[in-house]
Amino acid sequence: MTDFVTEADVAQLLGQDWAGAGDAVLAVAMANAWLTAKIKRAVPEAVPDAIKSAGAQVAKLAVAGKLYKDTDREVQSKTVSAQSGTSVSKTYVAGSTDRSTAENFALDLIAPWTRRPGTVMLKRV
């Protein structure tokens, strides 16, 4: 796991009391694990501010217990009929999960590092 963000970075971006009564060390470790899993490209020695900001947003989610959640089996289809001619239907894509605003923001911040590098041309010899 790479350390993209530290407690000091998060405190500088979100304020000293960002963790409240939560475990700041665990939240930062979870944020770094999340970033390590998402980032696919090499990152410069000096971590870019966008990645640090993303890490702070993710650490805020982690300390609130909203980053790594328990998952249930996904509902494939559900239909409820109240009266003849009236029904409600839900269909979920397998493996889909809700994402918070902060998680979407963090994903957008690290987008340049989550894509694989450009196309590689192969030449047959």
What is the per-residue pLDDT across 68-125, written as a single tens digit (0 to 9) for each? 776 555 666 666 777 777 777 777 666 666 777 778 878 888 888 787 666 666 777 7
Record the tokens describing residue 80, joined without a space. 């409820």
Could you give the CA distance from residue 1 to residue 5 in angstroms, rounded to a whole number? 11
32 touches 4 (CB < 8 A): yes
Domain segments of the chain as ranges? 7-114
pLDDT at 67: 84
Higher pLDDT pick, 101 / 44 = 44
Q: Between 80 and 67, name the one with better pLDDT.
A: 67
pLDDT at 117: 64
CA-based nearest residue to 113, from 43, 33, 30, 31: 43
User: What does the pLDDT read at residue 102?
Assistant: 78
Categorize the per-residue pLDDT at 23 as very low, low, confident or very high, splitting at 50, 70 and 90: very high
CB 39 within 8 A of CB 74: no
Are the C-beta atoms of 52 and 5 separated by less than 8 Å?
yes
> Do the beta carbons of residue 35 and residue 51 sit within 8 Å?
yes
- In sign, the C-alpha dihedral spanning 101, 103, 105, 111 is negative
pLDDT at 70: 63
Whole-angstrom CA distances from 55 to 21, 45, 80, 112 are 19, 16, 42, 15
